[in-house]
Amino acid sequence: MDAIDRNIINSLQGGFPICDSPYRVVAEQLGIEEADLLQRLERMLELKQLSRFGPMYHAERLGGGLSLCAMKLPEADFERVVEQVNAHPEVAHNYAREHQLNMWFVLATETPERIESLLIEIEEETGYHVYNMPKQEEFYVGLKFDL
């Protein structure tokens, strides 16, 4: 990753244009060729330096359900439950964390009602309680990433 890549990441955290040739517009602003920009984005995605590139949708505003959930699992059952939980396509991310509540995952469902029924399914499959922690208010979601 070089200075141009860092410049691309810093300047493209939002505000990507909506027009016929948006990459050309951005490339001009950055002082590089359009083909170079496309190639660099592709490579940074391949190397997972970028998680994704494109529109970030607001799940709830689109009518979907979203929640953060946690589970308290004994070491011996951890991997089994990881597999069972991750098998659900509605599980968007899942992290092991150093705490009694040692598994934390985000559910994104097509409807808000589906969250509740999916939690019950996961509890029945795994035999463990799921702590449901849907957000009650959001104060800041964005990026202030400066490389």
Partner 1 sequence: MSDSSLTSDNRATLDEIDRAIVRATQAGLPLVPEPYQQVADEVGISSQEVQSRMQCMLDQGCIRRIGAVPNHYTLGFRGNGMTVWDVPDEKVREYGKKIGDLDFVSHAYHRPRHLPEWSYNLFAMVHGKDRSEVDHKTAQIAELLGDDCQAHEVLCSSRILKKTGLRIV
Footprint on residues 41-100 left by partner 1 (CB under 8 A): 41-42, 44-45, 47-64, 66, 68, 82, 86, 89-99
**Any contact of residue 24 with partner 1 (CB under 8 A)?**
yes
**Any contact of residue 4 with partner 1 (CB under 8 A)?**
no
CA angle 121-125-127, nearest 5°?
Answer: 110
User: Of these, 13, 28, 117, 120, which contacts partner 1 (CB under 8 A)?
Assistant: 13
Cβ of residue 126: shortest distance to partner 1, in angstroms? 14
Cβ of residue 65: shortest distance to partner 1, in angstroms? 10
Burial status of residue 4 (CB atoms within 10 A of its CB: 0-12, 13-18, 19 or more): middle
User: Of these, 4, 7, 16, 128, which contacts partner 1 (CB under 8 A)?
Assistant: 16
Q: Which is nearer to partner 1, 17 or 127 (CB)?
A: 17
Do residues 54 and 41 touch, judged by C-beta distance below 8 A? no
Burial status of residue 75 (CB atoms within 10 A of its CB: 0-12, 13-18, 19 or more): exposed
Do residues 116 and 109 touch, judged by C-beta distance below 8 A? no
